[in-house]
Each structure stands twice: as C-alpha cells, then as structure tokens.
Structure 1
C-alpha cells in the first residue's frame, strides 16, 4: 500500500508531526506538494515569490536525501483524481491541518475528495505551539483578551520536538507528473526576484542560533528600534514551516533567563492567540470583530492610498517603512503598527485595504497574525488599541529613530539632513531647504494630511460608528 505526505505550511524534513507518522506507518511514501493557481496573488507579489521559493528549497533538500518532491499543479480535485489514477494502490494521506482561513476550507473540500477516492486521511496539528481549540476559558468559550489567555498558555506543558527518521528506501523517487513540474518551474521563473533572501531549514536554524546568541537577551528593549534590526527575523521561516515552532520554543526556552527571553516567548503566545481569534471569528478577514466599529465611514481616498503604498506621504518614518516593505518584502514590527495606524487613523482608509496590500507584499505573511495586527491597529478587533489612541508618526520617529539613520537608509532624498530636522522636513525654512539641497514639494513631498486635524476627524468617525451601532 502507498501513502502520501502532503506538504503545505510545513516545508521541512525534521520536527514534523505528519511526516513522522507517514514514515512510521507507511511501506511506500510519496512526498507531495500541490500548487493551486486559485491561490496566486499576482506577478508582483513578494509574498507569493518567497513562498514558492521555499517550496523550491524543500524540493532541493529532498533531492539531497535521494528522494523526490512530487508536484501537482492545478485544480485540487482534478489533481488528486490524477494521483489516484497514477497510483491505484494509494490508501492513506498524511497532513498537518490548517485551522483557519483558506487552508481550513481547502481541507474540508479535500476531506470529501479523499472519502470519494477511498483514501484515509490522517490529520495533525503542527503549525502552532497550542492549537486554536486547546486553550479556552473555564466556561469553555474562546478568550477575547490576551492577558488571561497568556496566563493559561504559559502554564500548559509545551509539546516537545518530534524526531523524524527520513527513510529514503520508502520514498517513491520516479517522477510522477513531469508536465506539472514543468508548469511549476515556468511559474517560478516568472516570480519577482527578492534580494538577499535566505530561505530553507538550514537558513532558519542559522538565523535562530544567531538570534539567541546575539539579540535575545536584549530583545525586550532593542526590538522597538528599526535600525538595530534586533528582532528574530524568524517569521518568514515560521510561516512556511521551514522550521518548527516547537524547535524555536525549545531552543529559546533552553537559553539563559532574561527579560528578552520572557518578552520573546510572550510573542510566541501572541501568535497562538491570533490563530485562536481567527478560528473563533472565521470571517475576520472581511468583517471587523468589534460590532461598535463596523459603521466607520472610511474615506478611502485612492490617491492617499497610493501615496501610502509608494512611501510618499510626507511623513518620513511612514515613508521609510513603506519603502522598506516594497524593496525587501519585510517591515519592522514597530513600523507595521505605525504604518497601519497612519493608514486607518490619519488617512481614514479601510484597514482591509492595508491588510490586503500587506498580504501581497510581506514575505512573512501569516493570515491570522496579519489580520489580527491590522484589526488591532484599526481598533476594530478584539483586545485592540483604543480608537482614540493614535500613533503620532513624528513623535514615533523622534523616539525610535532619533538620529534619522533608518529614514536615510530608505529615503535618499533626506540623507543630507541633520537629525533634528529629518523627522518633520515640512518645517524647514527656505534657507534650510537650500542648505540641505532638498526642496519640499519637489524632492520630497509635503505632508498629505495634518495629523492634528485628522486625529479629531478620526475620533469623531469612530464615535459616530459607536452611536450608529447601538
């Protein structure tokens, strides 16, 4: 009998629950990845380019193990029917389940397909430390606030690292679907290139070790400063499963105690929390969780949205962050909060517009965390920032990029400015503009809005929504 291991967001050959079971319980095993064109995000999506490059890295790793990662390309049902036709003896399939979003709906469809084909599905939870249904209140409901959730989270025993013995004698190595593989290769060739992007299990382990050795102890303070680049940078590996969350937790937990370690572990709990929130609010990608703010009258100015995407708002920290995103596919977490607050609270643009743009651009895009983060910043989610708390992009710049060095890295127009002037170039006198060789409105845009005025307007919009929802 033949079994299939279907990789999705678990692109590794170690510490993988479904893969371990597949090797232990199978006589012959097909390692499989399915490419569904219905999921494609467009030719300029850095998210898409990075994800499928990770698949390519896994394919290469399987080859080094003297195996083959078989590629199916096309409609889900048609692909599995084709697999059953090619291997009539296929009897079992092993997967690590998704609990939210597209992945959950895909798994429901796939379950029916497997039943029709007479294939037994074996599903496991692998992508989070604790699954969405594992932590509930004493009354059996989902938590809405992080702190009590975290208090219970940290008391629970954490799952250990899973040993996987890769037995290539069990692997079916002869390529099964050469046409599908050719389609996938052609698709890869069309993806937008990403500079200096290190992907794969080995790169993930190297990054984890570097983070623990160099940045973990001071993570609680250094993580807020974009120029220090002291965050873990593990998110791009975790979202594809190039490294297991269990491995990350285990190695961090073994390190010496520090405030940085405590803060980082709390961030891992936030990752589980947002997964739980998405499972309990399955429509949160399209609907605000907080009913009081479903009636906000967003202005949705398309020109403002374009200015924001291109990093041309006239607010240097916002612009530097957005240019970092467009150039690298990544953005520092402090800046994700600043740019999201600016879009929703200063420009009064629907948070869903921003969430969708981040989905296209982020190489570490995780739907639960990204949607949760946007609803947090927009004050529309659960346990969100209060609607009247609005980040001031200028004071955020002065506090977290005091000398303006991060700004200068991504906005060369401002590289000659002094640190005291760079946070709000609109206040430069004509003489100062000439001294710096930078004319406001010509070399760098004037602020497209007044933060002070927009703050008042936004608070009123949210308060009106509260009134209209009652």
Structure 2
C-alpha cells in the first residue's frame, strides 16, 4: 500500500496561500486533502438551518472542483474527529498529518487528542500558523508577558509587521505531489443533517475603493461601508496575509480592525477561561437581572429603541449586523437591561455568519466593561444619540423596522436615564467603588 500524507482542512478552506498545505506539498511525496464535518460541533448547533454549514459545504465543493485539475480529490468524512482518524489509520498507510493551527479551547483539546492518537501509530502531527499574522506569544511586552491593552499591542504588532516581508505561497509546479485518484464522493446538505436556508453570504471580493474609504464610512450602517469579509476570514476562504498587505497599502483604520482580531485571538489563547468568565474577575460579582421576557424583546428587536431593533432584525434575517450597531445592541443589553453578557454572546454565536469565538467574546466583554481594554463601566451608550449621530435620516432603521414611525412601533421598554443610573449603581456596588 502506498504511503500517503493527509492535509486536514479546517478554518483554511482554500488552496491559495495556505501555509500548512504548501508545506505538505513541499515536504511530502503523496498528499491527500481531508475535511471532517465534525459532529461534536454540528450537533451543538441549535438549528438545522444554518447558513454557515451550507457555506462550508460550498467551499469544500469548490476545493473538490479545483483538485480535479490536479488529478486529485478531497476526502470528506462526517463524525467525531478521533473516531474518523481511528478509521483512517486502518484505511490508509499514513506517513504524516499536516494541518493549520486553531486557537480556540475546543480545537486545542481536539488537536492534542488527535496528535496523541497518531503518535501511537508512529504518525507525526504537524501544525502551522495560517489564520493569523502573529500568534500565541509572538507579540509580547518587554518583560515577555502578553499585552492586556490593545494600543501598545497594536504598536508592537505594526512595528513587526512593517519590518517583515510577506509573500504568498503557491502550489504551482507541485501537482505530482498530490494523491492521484478519481473524484471522491461529496455529501449533500441533507446527508449532513441540515437544510437549505435563504440567507445570502457575500461573495469573496476585496473592494479596494471601499477599503480606501473605510475610515469615513464604517460607522454609518445605512452605507455599504464595510468589507463584509468577516465570514471569509472566519473560514479561511481568504488569506489573512494577502488581506493585511492590501490593508496596509489602502487604509490604516481597516488594518487596525485586523489587528483587533488578532489581539482577541491572543487573549483567548493566553486566558481560555474568558470563554465563560469575565477577563476582570471582579466583574463576575455583578448581580445581573437576567429578565427572560426583556431578553426575548431584545432578541426580536422590539425594545422601542430603533437602532437597537434595526440591528437585531438585521441579524435575525441576514446573519449579519453592522459593527457600530453591534456595540450599541450589546451595550443596551448589558447596561440598560443588566442582562449577562454571556446571554448576548451566545445569541450572537447562534446567528452571526462571521461568528468567531475570540472576537465575539472580546466584543461582548468590551461592551459590558468586563474584558481586557474594555469601555469603562460608567460609559453607557445612549441608543437615541447614537441613532442621531449615525443614522440621522433613519435610512437604516426604516429598512429593517417596517412599523417604525407608526402606532405599531412599541414605546421604549426602559427609560435611558433611569437605566443608566441603575447600571452605574449596580456596577459600583459590585466593584466596591
């Protein structure tokens, strides 16, 4: 039996500028690409209509088609990764397994288990950095500790980035390194246990003109002023290196957003307990009200605050919410309603196409005042003044809240002044201020 090397796709669904895949082809004689639909993740999804699963299947199919040109294919499995690899070591004579690193707690635990399993069969598990520019502890303070504040982190990140030359890697000329096989079967969405949705996922396109104007347009939700590349970064259908190089040339504000993404990934790697605990432990003393009826109104976009309601309805219908509005809706839930940030984070995780644990967690803890580099607890967004500032003519609100301006639109569920004062009092008491 011919020895093969497996390349395991996860959050890197592309052939172009994929570092782990490149090194597999560079170093090995016979490479078979692999993707596993992980039932440990899929079984936890609350709905069988999830556009993200549909998107992943579409991208795997695209890779499948591209590999045909190489005379190869991609092996698709559906199950628990450990069980899948137990089967694979029986099915193939495997030399090595290559993959790209993932920094989320579940992924790290999974990968360690796979590495241990393979080691028993004398198979190496080789992983590479691909979904970030800088990982783990590559950006540290002078004393070697990790940054807990974004601004100094970003300055160090930029200095290192500007001093480094990045070049994309290509598989050109390495077709003979691929496992030669007839196209392998692909599952259908139904076979995976999911159904089609009517949610549109924006196509992969770097709009240079949009990015050039990003700093001027990004805060206005009625404008088409953001790149909508989040879902592509999440699943690795775009190379972060290529995007960061473009951003450096086009708009430093946009590049700064990519640095925020890596900052939160670094925080999650260094302190995985932030998944369910406040980064600042004293904030876990806050006695959240957690009113279920109020939470439901927030989820449905029926709070009586137009900008909050428009954002929630946009999220529910499209799987996307404008970044400025994400901050306003999160602040409203945690400060106005005093509902635990973990409730909101979980809801966003279920709905957002571009859901990424580190960024979602970091953003929610920022809004609640509980996280690293968070807005202070005494800063409470006024959703009415935010509306005046960023959607003055109500274009965004009118698009998503059809009954706005009619008798059918509800009164505000809570008075802003009262809610702000209540939040300050509760936070102060919990923090011993």
With normalisation by structure 2, the TM-score equals 0.93
Q: Contact 1:47 / 1:365 at 8 angstroms: preserved in 2?
A: no
Q: Contact 2:365 / 2:374 at 8 angstroms: preserved in 1?
A: yes
How far apart, CA to CA, are the structure 1 residues paired with 2:191 and 2:16? 27
Instruction: Specify the alignment match of 1:162 in structure 2.
Output: 168
How far apart, CA to CA, are the structure 2 residues paired with 1:268 and 1:315? 30
Alignment partner for residue 341 of structure 1, among 306, 315, 331?
331
Aligned pairs for 1:111-190 within 5 A:
111-156=115-160, 157-158=163-164, 160-165=166-171, 167-174=174-181, 181-182=186-187, 185-187=189-191, 190=194
Q: Contact 1:10 / 1:242 at 8 angstroms: preserved in 2?
A: yes
How far apart, CA to CA, are the structure 2 residues paired with 1:104 and 1:118? 21
Which consecutive segments of 4 or more residues in structure 1 shift more than 6 A?
Answer: none
How far apart, CA to CA, are the structure 2 residues paired with 1:360 and 1:64? 37
Question: What are the ranges of 5 or more consecutive residues in structure 1 without an aligned counterpart?
Answer: 256-260, 418-437
Aligned pairs for 1:186-197 within 5 A:
186-187=190-191, 190-197=194-201
SS at match of 1:121: strand
How many residue pairs get aligned? The number is 425
Deviates more, 1:372-381 or 1:443-452: 443-452
Instruction: Specify the alignment match of 1:246 in structure 2.
Output: 241
How far apart, CA to CA, are the structure 1 residues paired with 2:400 and 2:155? 40
2:82 pairs with 1:77: yes
Question: 1:76 and 1:188, CA in 2 relative to 1: closer, same or farther beyond 3 A?
Answer: closer
Q: Contact 1:324 / 1:410 at 8 angstroms: preserved in 2?
A: yes
Question: 1:467 and 1:44, CA in 2 relative to 1: closer, same or farther beyond 3 A?
Answer: farther
Question: 1:309 and 1:380, CA in 2 relative to 1: closer, same or farther beyond 3 A?
Answer: same
Q: Contact 1:20 / 1:164 at 8 angstroms: preserved in 2?
A: yes
Displacement, 1:64? 5.3
Displacement, 1:358? 0.8
Displacement, 1:177? 7.7
How far apart, CA to CA, are the structure 2 residues paired with 1:83 and 1:163? 28
Q: Provide the alpha-carbon RMSD of the alignment.
A: 1.9
Alignment partner for residue 459 of structure 1, among 400, 421, 424?
424
Displacement, 1:59? 3.3
Instruction: Specify the alignment match of 1:99 in structure 2.
Output: 103
Question: 1:62 and 1:462, CA in 2 relative to 1: closer, same or farther beyond 3 A?
Answer: farther
Instruction: Specify the alignment match of 1:59 in structure 2.
Output: 64
Displacement, 1:192? 4.4
Displacement, 1:170? 3.3
Alignment partner for residue 386 of structure 2, among 375, 393, 396?
396
Question: 1:297 and 1:57, CA in 2 relative to 1: closer, same or farther beyond 3 A?
Answer: farther
How far apart, CA to CA, are the structure 2 residues paired with 1:281 and 1:75? 26
How far apart, CA to CA, are the structure 2 residues paired with 1:50 and 1:323? 22
Q: Contact 1:161 / 1:250 at 8 angstroms: preserved in 2?
A: no
Q: Contact 1:46 / 1:360 at 8 angstroms: preserved in 2?
A: no
Instruction: Specify the alignment match of 1:2 in structure 2.
Output: 4
Displacement, 1:311? 0.9
